[in-house]
């Protein structure tokens, strides 16, 4: 694999499959290593049209007030203060860990206290 710094191309530096290039190389501790890579006649390489996938994983944020997955937290919830309720079926009689309608094959959500109620207190 070539270090991207030796590829003569503006912007993201990667080569396309089958792209014709000219290069300079020298022996190194890893064998023969390219020191400069360019297109035919010293022109810029065309480069790959593919871009690497983002490594950033987005964590779903659940509002502990309304139970929705979204882009807000309980202190910024547009619904205002709500009574504690099940985030699955919205019942105020139980919490999601005890929901009779929840798929039992799914893991119980962990909200910080080990009890699934998210308030840091024992039930």
CATH number of 1-49: 2.40.50.140
Distance (Å, rounded) from C-alpha 37 to C-alpha 34?
7
* The domains spanning 1-49 and 57-103 adopt the same CATH topology: no
| Domain-wise residue ranges, the chain | 1-49, 57-103
Distance (Å, rounded) from C-alpha 88 to C-alpha 73?
17
CATH number of 57-103: 4.10.60.10
Res 86: pLDDT: 85
Distance (Å, rounded) from C-alpha 14 to C-alpha 58?
26
Q: Could you read off the pLDDT tens digit of each residue along the chain, which spans 123 residues?
A: 555 566 666 665 678 888 888 888 889 888 888 888 888 888 888 777 776 666 666 677 888 888 888 778 888 888 888 888 887 888 889 988 888 988 878 776 655 444 444 444 444
pTM of the model: 0.35
> Among candidates 79, 81, 71, 12, which has minimal Cα distance to 45?
12
Confirm if 15 and 3 have CB atoms less than 8 A apart.
no
Res 75: pLDDT: 87
Confirm if 18 and 5 have CB atoms less than 8 A apart.
no
């Amino acid at each position: 694999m070539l270090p991207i710094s030796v590829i003569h191309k503006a912007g993201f530096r990667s080569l396309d499959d089958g792209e014709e290039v000219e290069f300079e190389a020298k022996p190194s501790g890893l064998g023969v290593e390219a020191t400069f890579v360019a297109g035919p006649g010293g022109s810029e390489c065309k480069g790959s049209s593919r871009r690497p996938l983002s490594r950033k994983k987005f964590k779903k944020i659940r509002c502990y007030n309304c139970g929705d997955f979204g882009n807000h937290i309980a202190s910024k919830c547009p619904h205002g203060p709500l009574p504690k309720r099940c985030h699955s079926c919205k019942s105020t009689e139980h919490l999601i860990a005890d929901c009779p309608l929840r798929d039992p094959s799914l893991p119980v959500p962990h909200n910080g206290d080990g009890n699934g109620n998210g308030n840091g207190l024992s039930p």
